[in-house]
């Protein structure tokens, strides 16, 4: 699967995720479109570990929702995100007029789309939730775990031995193993030619996704 062959929506999301990663955040990107598919707002995760200039509420979804022009809030909108929204973001999605949500990977740590039927207010929103294919999940999961271990103040392999990573083992155990091997081998950059990455398609960081 080539990056250039992805839909416009996923190209924007992966581009925003890459920008977030390059600025010291986790690789998470978000796009909001109207009923005609027009780009209304997009954003990257802006929280940076160890930074006094950002805070942990600056998630990509929150950043994108804040950019929606007020008149556009009167119509039903669709959101694309590289990661399943957390409780904070899913709550904000419900308050905004988001009628459809697409995400690339489940988040076994903070993912909260199961709240869609959590109470009367959530149920009345009738948000349609769609998860992208497994290849998307494997790409984003590997990228997230790698970025998590490389965050400022992180400790690489040591950061792969905690409750956060244990949760990811529940849904993508093979991805966790490969990222662990990458860190153990001290590979600092992604390479299309490195066998370790194989079908995990880590060349997403270079602007392409390969089968």
Among 133, 132, 137, 130, smallest CA distance to 116 is for: 130
Question: Where are the extended beta strands (E) located within 10-145?
Answer: 29-33, 39-44, 77-83, 98-105, 128-131
30: buried, middle or exposed (CB in 10 Å: 19+, 13-18, 0-12)? buried
Question: Which residues lie closer than 8 Å to 19 by C-beta, 6 or more apart?
Answer: 29, 44
Alpha-carbon distance values, 160 to 25, 147, 189, 203 (Å): 17, 11, 18, 21
Task: Tell me the chain's radius of gyration from C-alpha atoms.
Answer: 17
Q: Taking all residues of the chain, what is their mean pLDDT, rounded to a whole number? A: 82
pLDDT at 1: 53
pLDDT-based confidence at residue 210 (cuts at 50, 70, 90): very low
Q: What percent of the chain has pLDDT over 90?
A: 43
Among 49, 51, 16, 53, smallest CA distance to 31 is for: 16
Question: Measured between alpha carbons, how far is 33 from 39 in angstroms, rounded to an integer?
Answer: 5
Q: What is the pLDDT of residues 137-188, one digit of tens each?
A: 888 898 898 888 877 666 665 666 788 889 999 999 988 888 887 777 765 5
pLDDT-based confidence at residue 192 (cuts at 50, 70, 90): very low
Question: Measured between alpha carbons, how far is 24 from 171 in angstroms, rounded to an integer?
Answer: 25
Is the Cβ–Cβ distance between 123 and 117 less than 8 Å? yes
pLDDT at 152: 67
Among 38, 36, 39, 100, smallest CA distance to 64 is for: 39
């Amino acid at each position: 699967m080539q990056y250039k062959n992805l839909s416009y929506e996923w190209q924007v999301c992966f581009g925003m995720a890459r920008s977030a990663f390059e600025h010291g955040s986790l690789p998470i990107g978000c796009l909001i479109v109207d009923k005609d598919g027009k780009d209304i707002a997009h954003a990257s995760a802006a929280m940076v570990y160890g930074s006094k200039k950002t805070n942990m509420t600056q998630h990509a979804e929150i950043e994108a929702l804040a950019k929606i022009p007020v008149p556009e809030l009167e119509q039903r909108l669709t959101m694309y995100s590289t990661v399943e929204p957390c409780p904070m973001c899913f709550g904000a999605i419900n308050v905004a007029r988001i009628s459809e949500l697409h995400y690339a990977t489940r988040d076994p740590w903070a993912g909260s789309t199961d709240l869609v039927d959590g109470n009367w207010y959530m149920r009345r929103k009738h948000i349609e939730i769609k998860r992208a294919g497994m290849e998307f999940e494997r790409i984003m999961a590997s990228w997230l775990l790698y970025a998590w271990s490389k965050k400022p103040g992180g400790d690489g392999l040591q950061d792969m031995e905690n409750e956060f990573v244990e949760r990811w083992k529940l849904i993508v155990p093979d991805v966790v193993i490969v990222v662990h091997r990458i860190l153990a081998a001290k590979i600092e950059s992604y390479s299309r030619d490195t066998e370790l990455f194989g079908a995990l398609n880590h060349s997403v960081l270079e602007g392409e996704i390969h089968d």
